[in-house]
A and B are shown apart, each in its own frame.
Chain A
Amino acid sequence: MKREESEFAVIGGGLVGAAIAWGLARLGKQVAMLDEGDIAWRASRGNFALVWVQSKGLGMPAYAAWTRRSSDGWAAFADALGEETAIDVAFRRPGGFALCLSEAELEARAAAMHRLHNQPDMIPYPYEVVHRERLRALLPAIGPEVAGGIFSPLDGHCNSLRLLRALHAGLQRRGGKYLSEHVVDRIEQRQGMFALATSAGEVRAARVVLAAGNGNARLAPMVGLAAPVRPQRGQVIVTERVEPFLHHPMLSVRQTDEGTVMIGSSTEEVGFDDHVGAPVLAAMAARAIRIFPCLGRLNVVRTWAALRVMSPDGFPIYSQSMTHAGAFLATCHSGVTLAANHALVLPPMLEAGSLGTELAAFGGKRFDVSAHG
């Protein structure tokens, strides 16, 4: 078996791993990105492609700020990626809505936004509660049950599949290596080098970044870290392509740049099971039609389910190892929204060998029960 050696080994070829790897390669680092094969729990192939700000950070203002920073950096990130790869990831930031189907739902959502913004250390950002009458002027297709919604001009979306391809292409254009079918079995640190035993031979690197999604739970302890993440299933429905009719992304419905309509936003705790289930699809379809009745006659082209990478408090984990210097971990369920940070903000920290204070709140230690004793 041949042996690979590089400055950085990034474990995980999904959106988180690929963004970090591309970012490192842009800094001139030699990077090897290790990935599983064609069949993998690949959350990046199943996500909803929102670059979403509103509603994030209740319970952790630092997360709201981190999200905002990525959202603000996304346009430059998309441009840079487009310049290098000629792939347009279709980033748009027209502002997004979370629509509510009753006054009670709207009040509850507005109250949550209020609480979010009243947290100490919260840096507020613009949002507004839009009631039905005004909403109808903005979104003429809404159904009679829509009571209103929350709008934030910071919300956007992109084509996340093209994003994944662009990051892979960009990495390799920068000389990074993509090692598929390299499932990591063991990580050891010897004489300042990490030796990764994989299904396709050994890979060595001076530093290692764990970005393997739900796989991080297994890998983290190998370098003295903890990533108590669990899979959370989300299902998505996609319709045939239609002429543009919806110009704003929403939490549960959005029209892609290609014309298809995506319907999503379910959460189920079912472990490592990514099958779709008709009852949940039915409930999603019913809700989407209540929001936009015109969707009812569209043909469903595909459905799928994918597994989110969920930490106990729902926030990302960024940590560096105290026992294995040079080992880092990044994991979150917002690989699209945070891609700009992962590509442009995180890599300089990794290069410097230390995560910045901005990320202090995201350590895996926060889940350590004994620490709170």
Chain B
Amino acid sequence: MSSNRELGDPYELVVVGAGPAGLAAATAAAGLGINTVLLDEQSSLGGQIYRAIEETPLADPAVLGKSYGRGRLLVRSFVASGARHIPGASVWHVAEGQGGCLTVGLSVGSAAHMIEARRVILATGALERPFPIPGWTLPGVLAAGGAQTLLKSAAIVPAGYVVLAGTGPLLWLFAAQMLRAGGRITAFLDTASVENRRAALAHLPGFLASSYFREGLDLMRAVRRGAQVVRGVKALVAHGTERLSEVAFRRLGSTEERIPADILLLHQGVVPDLNLAAAAGCKLTWDERQLAFLPVTDRWGASSVEGIAIAGDGAGIMGSEAAAERGRLAALDAACRLGRITQSDRDRKAAPVAKALARATRGRAFLDALFRPTRAFRVPEGETIVCRCEEVTARQVRESAAFGCPGPNQLKAFLRAGMGPCQGRMCGLTVSALLAEARGVTMGEIGYFRLRPPVKPLTLSELAALPATPAAMEAVGR
């Protein structure tokens, strides 16, 4: 395959994703003398958590909170590290290449390229968990994380009647950020089950010792002061015809209440963005605590595919501080496997990183338990749309299960769920949950969609411009 001179190919290490894990990994690798490139879809560094960190138009970035500011150090260290950064690069494929190398397919400025790398670290981060309620496809209903991105990158806030609903640290954080930025919240509908608190208590000591404790309490207090918080919400419906007009909800033991709404922001936690890892063949496993599929990784982030490591939230949700440490561990392991440092060097250098990682993950178990999304919002009923792209409903999935559909891949064939442009990102977990429940098996047993490249879109022309070998031309005779 021809090398991509303008892209500096080949590399010893390709890092995918410029959030905390990718930034730290690339910085550490370059510091160890490894020829490294960092690829990221966005035009600037920081990932979603530190989105627009160096360029936010907010008059006072302090509204985003203290933790947002931490991104600046990561970005600046990376810029000084000597690693190359290719912005606006979406990676749609990672596969075994020649001579033990990996081939990375990427698209930059409407042109596809294949570059070679000896090792790859995937730092693809997290996605918001699907939140399938009736009406969630109406214009005006958005993911809360999406609204947060708008605040960071464009300094715009939701306006009019704004309802926030769901659970999870991000939802509370965004509510506080929005209030500080001058936004107004009509209602905050908390969908966490009251039983969560009892389950979380067991993990309280770790939480008290964590950095989340103080920050979290302040935040929730600020939200309660600035918005009407409705607890124990059991059911939610977004109403409207061409766009959202009303939100209906029900609390435990009460009748339905309705409030007018212009914007509804939904959120119930984040899960690993694993499409690229899964399409590359990395094994997945079900994690009951996080209620998510995670790629199988060792303590260095190494996946089941030789040469591919996964760092940060893409390998399991632990938060942004832990992500940076996990990026550093993956970089150390890459250096070792590239023969740049010995194993004992690696282990010695890793010791303080591991310690920092342990500190950063304190309190996670508490958060996972406290904000655990309830079944009602993960396993929808009736005509609720599950797959937004192909408009497949919960009822249809259940019917397929009833006539023997054994899993998500046969379901995809039967109903097209997961076949649209988002490639299952918005429905994969819901489909697996519905099938597992209907068939009476575990999530681990039912499994996940089999994913294929390209995991990010490219045009047919881009694909056609890639080099085709003589064997490939021969294979396509007619």
Contacts and interface: CB of A to CB of B under 8 A. Distances in A.
A43 B94 CA distance: 24
B57 interface: no
A38 B447 contact: yes
B420 interface: yes
Contact of B421 (A178, A287, A301): A301
A353 B469 CA distance: 50
A44 B412 CA distance: 12
B199 interface: no
B66 to A, nearest CB: 40
28 contacts: A38-B446, A45-B412, A165-B413, A165-B415, A169-B403, A172-B403, A178-B404, A180-B406, A237-B460, A240-B421, A265-B476, A268-B475, A275-B95, A275-B281, A277-B95, A278-B103, A278-B114, A278-B453, A279-B469, A285-B461, A287-B476, A288-B464, A297-B460, A300-B457, A300-B460, A300-B463, A301-B420, A302-B423
A164 interface: yes
Given A164-B414, A289-B461, A297-B459, A280 B466 contact: no
B472 A282 contact: yes
B477 interface: yes
Contact of B464 (A169, A258, A275, A289): A289
Contacts of B450: 39
A109 to B, nearest CB: 8
Contacts of B447: 38-39
Contacts of B464: 282, 285-286, 288-289, 296
B403 to A, nearest CB: 5
Contact of A302 (B404, B409, B410, B419): B419
A296 B467 contact: no
A304 B412 CA distance: 13
Interface in A174-211: 178, 180-181
Nearest to B114: A278
Contacts of B416: 161, 258
A252 B473 CA distance: 14
A266 B459 CA distance: 20
Contacts of B476: 265-266, 280, 283-284, 287
Nearest to B415: A165
Given A161-B413, A278-B466, 10 more contacts: A38-B409, A164-B413, A168-B403, A178-B403, A237-B460, A265-B477, A275-B281, A279-B471, A280-B472, A282-B464
A266 B475 contact: yes
Contacts of B469: 279
A281 interface: yes
A282 B450 CA distance: 22
B406 A282 contact: no
Contact of B453 (A240, A276, A279, A299): A276
B408 interface: yes
A60 interface: no
A3 B45 CA distance: 61
B403 A298 contact: no
A281 B406 contact: no
A283 B413 contact: no
Interface in B277-322: 281
A35 interface: yes
Give 6 closest A-B pairs by Cβ, nearest first. A38-B407, A279-B472, A285-B464, A296-B461, A283-B468, A180-B406
Interface in B413-470: 413-416, 419-421, 423, 446-447, 450, 452-454, 457-461, 463-469
Given A45-B413, A278-B114, A288 B460 contact: yes
Interface in A79-94: none
B404 A172 contact: yes
A303 B472 contact: no
Nearest to B403: A172
A98 interface: yes
B130 interface: no
A295 interface: yes
Contacts of A282: 463-468, 472
Contacts of B355: none
B478 interface: yes
Contacts of B409: 38-39, 45
A181 B440 CA distance: 14
A301 B408 CA distance: 18
Contact of A303 (B408, B414, B452): B452
Contacts of A296: 459-461, 464
A34 B460 CA distance: 39
B414 A38 contact: no
A222 B477 CA distance: 37
B390 to A, nearest CB: 9
A213 B404 CA distance: 20
B459 A300 contact: yes
Nearest to A36: B406
A251 B478 CA distance: 8
Q: Which of B406, B446, B469 has the most CB of A within 10 A?
A: B406
A172 B405 CA distance: 12
